[in-house]
Structure 1
Amino acid sequence: MSLNKVSPMIGVFAALTAFAIDQITNPLCKETGISVERIAQENIIGREPGSGTRQAVEKLCQKDGVDLVAHMEFDDTEAIKQGVISGLGVAYLSLHSLRLELKTGELKVLDVQGFPLRRRWFALNRKGKHLTSAAQTFLTYLQQVNSDPIA
């Protein structure tokens, strides 16, 4: 879609990405100021190639000279969370996707240097096309989630 066919930006939203780990078995839970180099020594459960989250995390790690190699890769957030809960490794995920697991204590956000990683993304629509009620509801939801701080 060319930019001249897109109406002005509807909204800019922030996505916060952090490393998560199960609270029961991993001693990293008690550490603070964990380096990316130290995280790279863990079994990483990563996103699929082409994922924006993966690209952002890899870019940050490369800036620090760290090659973050995934032990496992999934294209599904729930599969990644279940892998972490099962003790298979640590993962980088959107904080918004971790709300329930953080609340129930199944997962913990690690204190990793440079994280949470804040990214921007945009919601756009075609010029002259009115939003359906479902699309408007979704946009309103995104605006509320974006303004709602995570723990």
Structure 2
Amino acid sequence: MKNVTFRKLQSLLAIETHRKIVDAAKALGLTAPAITLQLKQLEEDAGVTLFERTPHGMFPTEAGKVFLEAAKEIDERLQRLDDDVNAFRRVKRGHITVGAVSTVRYFAAPLFAAFSKEYPDVHLELIIDRRDETIARLKDRAVDIALLGRPPRDISVRATVFGEHSLVVVSAPGHALAGKRDITKAEIANEHFLHRGRGSGTRTFFERFLKDIPGRLDGPSTEMETVEDIKQAVMAELGIAFLSMQSIAAEVQAGQLAVLDVVGLPIRRQWFAISRSDRAVTPVMAAFQAFLATRGETFLPNFSDPAKVPA
């Protein structure tokens, strides 16, 4: 493999991303024949096919995936080298990609704005998705840090706590249970629940909370794509929901939603900033984690007012 160069590996990464030689060439500022030649040289040198050509685009073979993994590791190492050099020069610039679960969107704007103000030359990218997809991106090295309500168990990670959040059951203000004290699990078990699909963090805790109620997990419920859809449906009195307090702060304070006083709730959880333990921490990652550890909690909704949240 003496003829492998990083430029050729970059071409493989571009082909994987764009699926077409022409689009990969445009992304790299090269010509399509140049990309085609680099791919041909790599395949001839390796003696294997690296991409399957299909009517729907080009897809890596098993051998191609090995090359791509090496390319990603080299690219990551060069990015770390760039960050390290910048740190030595005391230039606070670089790039960080953060993955986060859906609830983070309710406090992301002020938090990220404050970080960007402190580090104006750092390019920060935020990807919000379900928990499963966020963890998958962490595994695939598509994000540098993930913001989650609990660390994954199937990969080795570093986890830093930066605040707390609470999980509660919420209804429309006119619901029969709104205002009632010490509601039991059995009472809410008969209600129609609105929730996210499997793989979301709140859905997981919902199932854990009611798992000791026979038949509840197969009871009346409706899956919805987003937390916003769920809140609108609850306000329309189509059911009740199990959500993070941070996702319903505005509606509770405006009197549009009511937090039910259910025995055993709220479930108090922590927010974690998580990175893979098998990769080096870049100066930019370290700066972001330190920012979260020292200031992150100040950007989380405050529910200390007893008139707005059940004790």
1:122 aligned residue: 272
Q: 1:18 to 1:150 in 2, by over 3 A?
A: farther
Contact conserved, 2:161 with 2:270, CA < 8 A, in 1?
A: no
User: 1:110-149 to 2 correspondence within 5 Å?
Assistant: 110-125=260-275, 126-131=279-284, 135=288, 139=292, 142-145=296-299, 148-149=302-303
Distance 2:172 2:187 in 1: 17
Distance 1:129 1:36 in 2: 46
Q: Which has the larger radius of gyration?
A: 2
- Identity across the alignment (%): 32
Tell me the SS of whatever aligns to 2:232.
helix
Counterpart residue identity of residue 208, structure 2: K
Counterpart residue identity of residue 144, structure 1: T
Please list every run of 5 or more consecutive structure 2 residues that lacks an aligned counterpart in the other structure.
Answer: 1-138, 140-154, 306-311
1:86 aligned residue: 236
Tell me the SS of whatever aligns to 2:252.
helix
RMSD: 2.8
Q: 2:185 aligns with which of 36, 51, 68?
A: 36
Tell me the SS of whatever aligns to 1:112.
coil
Q: Deviations over 1:41-71 (max 9, x none)?
A: 1111112111121111211211455624352
Counterpart residue identity of residue 297, structure 2: Q
Contact conserved, 2:189 with 2:213, CA < 8 A, in 1?
A: no
Counterpart residue identity of residue 240, structure 2: V
2:161 aligned residue: 11
Counterpart residue identity of residue 143, structure 1: E
1:88 CA displacement: 0.3
Counterpart residue identity of residue 83, structure 1: A
Q: Which has the higher helix share?
A: 2
1:12 CA displacement: 4.8
Contact conserved, 2:164 with 2:297, CA < 8 A, in 1?
A: no
Please list every run of 5 or more consecutive structure 1 residues that lacks an aligned counterpart in the other structure.
Answer: none
Tell me the SS of whatever aligns to 1:124.
strand
TM-score, reference length from structure 1: 0.80
1:106 aligned residue: 256
1:95 CA displacement: 0.3
1:150 CA displacement: 4.7
Tell me the SS of whatever aligns to 1:28.
coil
Q: Deviations over 1:9-63 (max 9, x none)?
A: 3325433100001103x11113111111111111111121111211112112114
Distance 1:129 1:70 in 2: 48
Q: 1:86 to 1:47 in 2, by over 3 A?
A: same
Q: 1:104 to 1:146 in 2, by over 3 A?
A: closer
Matched, 1:60 2:209: yes
1:96 aligned residue: 246
For this pair of structures, how many residues does the alignment match? Answer: 147
